[in-house]
Structure 1
């Protein structure tokens, strides 16, 4: 898959991983055409499957499923640093790494959205910073694998979208597979201190 195809794949995934409002349905034909132009493979197959689900599902039903899945189930958290760091001080430092990558690429996420949301990382790639985005995804590959497995266990159609993004990364090595298994069995660290370091360091800039 060349860089243009990677950007297209991540662009579509970014839209699909966002809250499914009317804009998603208005742009369904454009998204479907973009996916159809991708080379044959796992990414195109999985995105096509999800787009088919969207076309067959009403906006209210899809929105309710989105909220029930991503907002109400911690095991299906779309924020990549959560899996490795939970709500600990280390997560705040990890978030800064995402923020620095965005600044390096000249990209500013929408106000109020944490930079480690998978949809935002995909948007970073779609805007041209493919190298930076794939680096962040690769660093949090284990968390993405846990997210995909959790969605699959919930029988959520969003499994297809996360699987499509994973298909754009190099195959997982033994260490990444072991990390994913460990995260799945142990869960994220528990230290309820919030994201103060991230907020404080950002405020000082």
Structure 2
């Protein structure tokens, strides 16, 4: 598996809700992170894992909910950013849904603009097709990253890593 795929899967995991199952799996994901070849991106991911492990579970869960569920500026759904109305949002959702359907995937439980689902898709499809999805999502990911920076939230570092993959930088630095 290439670094871009590994990083997408790891980031997808890290962006999911931190429930009991998530905490049960965190050790395995951290071990997998050691196989990322790009040293700076691997180190950034490991530091994010360290941040999670150093924070009490309840405090991390509360931060997650405040960050992603109670904030319009940092939601996990890309079609909610910079759109004027429900018609535009519906068009965006159709575009995101097409990414999954064109690659023979379906999302029975998630909306197609859900960042972790898009990252998982990018991890399992052809590199060229993944690049198209990243290119489409990049402006919104950059927007979210800026909101994290303004709010001084550690997710900014995780989005730096995701955007490094979106920009093809995971192949540099070896």
TM-score range, shorter chain: 0.7 to 0.9
- 8 Å Cα contact 1:124/1:130 also seen in 2: no
Report the count of equivalent residues.
Answer: 168
**1:42 Cα deviation (Å)?**
3.9
Q: Does 2:150 align with 1:153?
A: yes
Deviation at residue 140 of structure 1 after TM alignment:
2.6
In the alignment, structure 1 segments of 5+ residues that lack a partner are: 172-205
1:24 aligned to 2:22?
Answer: yes
Q: Kindly tell me: are residues 87 and 15 of structure 1, through their superposed partners in 2, closer, same or farther at Cα, counting changes over 3 Å?
A: farther
Shift of 1:116: 0.9
Structure 2 residue 115 is matched with structure 1 residue 118: yes
Aligned to 1:190: none
The CA distance in 2 between the partners of 1:110 and 1:134, in whole Å, is 24
Contact conserved, 1:21 with 1:59, CA < 8 A, in 2?
no
Q: Secondary structure at the match of 2:166?
A: coil
Q: How far, CA to CA, are the matches of 1:142 and 1:97 in structure 2? A: 15
Partner in structure 2 of residue 33 of structure 1: 31
TM-score, normalised on structure 1? 0.74
Gaps of 5+ in 2: 169-174
Whether the aligned pair in 2 keeps the contact of 1:78 and 1:117 (CA below 8 Å) is yes
Q: 53, 57, 63: which is aligned to 1:59? A: 57
Alignment match, 2:131: 134
Q: Give the TM-score, by structure 2 length.
A: 0.86
List aligned pairs for 1:97-108, cutoff 5 A: 97-108=95-106
C-alpha RMSD of the superposition: 1.9
